[in-house]
Amino acid sequence: MNDNNIPLVSIIITTYNRKTMFKEAIDSVLNQDYQNLEIIVANNASTDGTDGLMKKYIEKYKNIIYIKREKNIGAHANGYRAYKEVSKGKYIFFLCDDDYLISPTFITNAVNIMENNENVVLVTGYVLMYFEDINKYLTIPYNDDKLISGIDYLINQSTVTMPNKYPEIISLFFLTSRECIENNKLFSTFKESGDLAIRFYAPSLGDIYFLPEFVGCYRLHNAVRETSNIDSLYNDYCRAIEFADDIVERYTSLYPQYQYFWKSYIPLKIADAFIRDRIFKTFGLSHYTNEKVKKLKEFFKKYNIKKLHYKIYQYLYSVLIPSKMRIVFAIFAFEYVRRSYIYAAILRIGFLNFDSALFGFVYSEDWLRIWILFFNLKIRLKNKYHAEIPKLYAYASNDILKDGKIEAYYTLNKSKEDQISSYDNIIEFIPNSNISKGEPITKTNTTKINKIKNKVY
């Protein structure tokens, strides 16, 4: 697997006492068709026979570098030291020992993208997820967007309870460059989540590219963190807030006019992508019980979580603590369900098993709908957690022919007064002239289509 005419790629696999799954991981790397790989295995003092297994691989494959730690130094330190002290590749891919690659062409295709798009800092793709609790393989929805400007991805990336325009990058399933990592001052310091440090910082350095192929499989284990305790959870919580402050500072330095938005939006995204997961697993909230909820409330109170960051506390409380209250008056009932924010007066006719909503309202983060019998009123609200997402403006991601398909990426920078923004639905437009790569897409060089009537206007 050595071809000096193409860039060297370092694939770093960290492992600890997962011999069977680790074997699947390293075999999936050896199945890649890329011809200039170095495979670095960092064994974090495993005691399950991984050392003996590696001896067979070293004898057979000359491009494997094996590191055996004398003691467990922690997952992040194990991977970071392997990267910093041993790897030599221009491009870097981290693989956890319980995950594995699927597409044998991913590294080849990802390197090709990065070699031909100098502003791309991460290349990823589809990810299959195995849910151990239910013994099923599932995946999240993906769209047709391939090249996405970094700032557009940061603002519009999905997280677990905050779905948005673009899919979340799952774990470490991305190829990145050594240059990108070296320019990321947070990767070495935020040891609680190395993938989060890259995924939130990298969009400030360049663009994101989604390949239309499955990178690999990510295993989600039973929702309990073996090493978690309340004190370590509190420390993770505090470190995540510090990390959020650093990310806010980074994007404020690049786009100071949106300072309020960064302060309001980024901490909640990080809370959803990191803190919520830590709390969820520490308290075993995959199955709610009154006792678990009581302990979570005690944690919030004991460590004065509300004062650390009120908006994060408010968000976490709303998504982690279920609440339901019912008051029944004869055949009428008033219902309040926190999780769906539905309030309604219900007419119950029990023997007919029939519910009729006489009046009520539905409340979400962005709007309020009130109904009384057949009358409906919908009111748009300011999001209670963060400021309204700013407009981003469309530019051609490649050369576009007249009447062809528009492929665009978005940035916060506007260069034409009538430029199409992220508030417009770009699939409703077709180019009425040729548009060069990087040129702003405007309402002058496009025509809007009325799809319902099949007319152009």
Of 99-108, 222-231, 347-356, 385-394, where does the model show the most confidence? Answer: 99-108
Structural domains in the chain (count): 3
Is 165 found in the same domain as 16? yes
Confidence of residue 380 (pLDDT cuts 50, 70, 90): low
Is 337 found in the same domain as 292? no
Q: How far is CA 12 from CA 37, 75, 171, in A?
A: 10, 12, 14
Residue 374 lies in a domain: yes
Q: Which of 273, 299, 320 is the last residue of a domain?
A: 320
The region of weakest confidence among 114-128, 153-167, 308-322, 362-376 is 362-376
β partners of residue 411: 393
Is 297 found in the same domain as 272? yes
Domain containing 49 equals 9-220
pLDDT of residue 323: 59
Return the residue matching tokens 């920078």.
413
Is 94 found in the same domain as 169? yes
207 vs 127: CA distance, rounded Å:
19
Is 181 found in the same domain as 303? no
Sign of CA dihedral 136, 217, 129, 284: positive
> How does the average pLDDT of the chain come out, rounded?
85
Alpha-helical regions (H) of 225-384: 230-254, 259-270, 276-282, 290-302, 305-308, 310-320
Is 136 found in the same domain as 16? yes
Q: How far is CA 69 from CA 43, 46, 77, 191, 245, in A?
A: 6, 8, 11, 18, 34
412 vs 251: CA distance, rounded Å:
12
Is 301 found in the same domain as 181? no
Confidence of residue 142 (pLDDT cuts 50, 70, 90): confident
Record the tokens describing residue 89, joined without a space: 């590749």
Of 174-178, 321-325, 353-357, where does the model show the most confidence? Answer: 174-178
Exposure b/e, 270-299, CB count within 10 A at least 16 = b: bbbbbbbbbbbbbbbbeeeeeeebeebeeb
Return the residue matching tokens 């209670």.
384
Tens of pLDDT, residues 233-255: 999 999 999 999 999 999 999 99
Residue 385 lies in a domain: no
pLDDT of residue 345: 38
- Percent of the chain past pLDDT 90, that is, above it, reads 69
370 vs 363: CA distance, rounded Å:
9
Confidence of residue 319 (pLDDT cuts 50, 70, 90): confident
Residue 3 lies in a domain: no
**Residue 353 clears pLDDT 50, i.e. is over it:** no
Is 176 found in the same domain as 264? no
Residue 67 lies in a domain: yes
Q: Which of 194, 220, 246 is the last residue of a domain?
A: 220
Type of residue found at 44? N
pTM: 0.83
Q: List, in order, residues 6 or more apart from 142 with CB less than 8 Å away.
A: 126, 167, 210
Is 208 found in the same domain as 72? yes
Cβ neighbours, 10 Å, residue 135: 7
Confidence of residue 348 (pLDDT cuts 50, 70, 90): very low
Sign of CA dihedral 115, 64, 173, 239: negative
Is 273 found in the same domain as 311? yes
